[in-house]
Amino acid sequence: MKKRILSLLLVALMMTQFAACSETTTDEGAASGGDISNPAAEEETVEETTEEDILEALLAEVPGEDYGGYEFQMLNNESNFAYTLMTAEELTGEGINDAIYNRNVAVAEKLNIVITENMVPYSQVTTDMNTSIAAGDDTYSCFWNESKFVSPFAINGQLLNVNDITAINLDNPWWNGKALSEVQFGDYQYFLVGDLHLMFKESYWMCGFNKNIIDENSLGDPYELVREGSWTLDQMKTYMETVAMDLDGNGVMDGADRFGVTCYSGCTAAFALAADETFIERGDDGVPALVNPDDRFYAVYEKIVSTMYDPASTYVCLSGKTQNIAQYENEWHGVFSSGHALFYLEPIGSLKKLRDMDAEFGIVPFPKYDEAQENYVTYIAGYAAFCGVPITASDMQRTGVILENLCAYSYGDLRQAYVETTLNFKYIRDQESAEMLNLILDSGRFSLTDILAVTTPIDTYNSNATGAKMEIASSYAKILKASGKLLDKNVKKLLKLE
């Protein structure tokens, strides 16, 4: 399919070039007095191949069957911050709702099926699917939940290998190929992520900033810092120190004052991955293994702690630690939306909490460790949604056809409704932030600790950091042996080696 996409793009390019060339020839002929009176030549036109044409050609490749009114049931997770709905009851005029409704109608009519979902809390998804699989029940053809809760199903042999479902073509652009490659284990692919379920995009971490505070303090444009490659943790710290102010003059930094940053206390992993560090990496053979910490690993840790968790710091507003933030709706989120913080560290989905913010704001990726770091990296949180196909699915090819169609028909309107309507215009107030959004989504990376159910390394890192412990080497060394054994065990299960 990659070859077909490339061929179509080349055709489009060639046709555009041919059209341009024809226009040039006509102009030159007129200038030189050449014969341009041929009626047939005047009637010749060149049809331009558009993105819509290419999408239409791709959709024509998606398999279609008549399933005789089959009810396709999905189990889906609820969320307190992200879009998770896979169905819509009616058209409402709201972009995402209507795109989901129209997508499902198109797929249901094409395949002669009925599409239903059962929405339950994330913990109940796990309970219900374990019960269903143990009983051999095929009520649910697939299910969605946070990735860290779906991965144990794969480790325990309860999910089908998507690579065996020939109706699903993961080379198609509606699947997130980059993310899927990160969670491919040998010949086994247990998870699906793509345009059909929006919670995945909602789970990329980002850094929001208050433009008014930037301007009032004559600080440099964060957008330009990102473009120049100089948006670093040190630069961010300088900005935070500059703007922090005890507004009421009572000598205590609390919710009444202005902070450099407001965030959930557990944002350590997002900083670590943004610094291009991780806890589990793949060797040359592609097999995941624990990272052996080096000097840079510890230097990154120390800089995160000194920047975000130093008890003497007066510029950080942390959930559960900073006083008097309960006065705001959504607490630390409200500190930012009320204009009491320069930076706001959260997943993209939390931008919905800023609906009523009056001040102009933008978004940028998390900062690099230093300018020597080549690329920006964005943490895809462990609560990013994965789709799993249980081993009890009675007809995996039918499930594959339906999922391929749902994802394909999400690639146009639903993607546009999410990226353009929801982010670019409703929450994010300028086109430069749209540019940054694309950078964030293109730079996503998982922590394999979440995917491989080996969370002790990242938990140890986070707990030490939030406890403001500058030295981590000794406590980290203590967990490596047991974590390494668990990792090896889980990887062998995924690769069907035990």
Domain ranges of the chain: 57-202+383-426, 205-380+453-494
The pLDDT of residue 31 is above 50: no
The pLDDT of residue 94 is above 90: yes
Q: What is the mean pLDDT of residues 330-350?
A: 94
CATH 3.40.190.10 corresponds to the domain 205-380+453-494: yes
pLDDT category of residue 21 using cuts at 50, 70 and 90: very low
Count Cα neighbours of 478 within 13 Å in the Cβ-side half-sphere. Answer: 5
Q: Which long-range contacts (CB under 8 A, 24 or more apart) does 279-288 make?
A: 279/447, 279/448, 279/449, 279/457, 279/458, 279/461, 280/447, 280/448, 280/449, 280/452, 280/454, 280/457, 280/487, 281/448, 286/186, 287/491, 288/185, 288/448, 288/452, 288/487, 288/491
Give alpha helix (H) positions in 87-198: 95-111, 122-134, 147-155, 177-182
The pLDDT of residue 262 is above 90: yes
In this structure, of 418-422, 425-429, 473-477, the range with the lowest mean pLDDT score is 425-429
Q: Which residues contact 285 (CB under 8 A, 6 or more apart)?
A: none
The pLDDT of residue 52 is above 80: no
Q: What is the mean pLDDT of residues 464-488?
A: 96
Distance, CA of 154 to CA of 191 (rounded, Å)? 8
Per 3-state DSSP, the chain is made up of helix, strand and coil in percentages (nearest 5) of 45, 15, 40
What pLDDT was estimated at residue 13?
33
What pLDDT was estimated at residue 425?
64
Give per-residue pLDDT as tens, 176-205. Answer: 999 999 999 999 999 999 999 999 999 999
The pLDDT of residue 422 is above 60: yes
What pLDDT was estimated at residue 34?
38
Count Cα neighbours of 476 within 13 Å in the Cβ-side half-sphere. Answer: 21
Domains 57-202+383-426 and 205-380+453-494 in one fold: yes
pTM of the model as a whole: 0.88
476 Ramachandran zone, left/alpha/beta (phi>0; psi -120 to 50): alpha
DSSP string, 359-376: S-EEEEPPPBSSTTS-S-
Distance, CA of 300 to CA of 470 (rounded, Å)? 11
Pairing assessment for the beta strands 142-146 and 70-77 based on DSSP bridges: parallel
**CATH code matching the domain that covers 57-202+383-426, chosen among 1.10.10.10, 1.10.645.10, 3.40.190.10, 3.40.120.10:** 3.40.190.10
Pairing assessment for the beta strands 113-120 and 70-77 based on DSSP bridges: parallel
What pLDDT was estimated at residue 430?
80
The pLDDT of residue 434 is above 90: no
Higher model confidence: residue 433 or residue 445?
445
In this structure, of 34-38, 130-134, 140-144, 449-453, the range with the lowest mean pLDDT score is 34-38
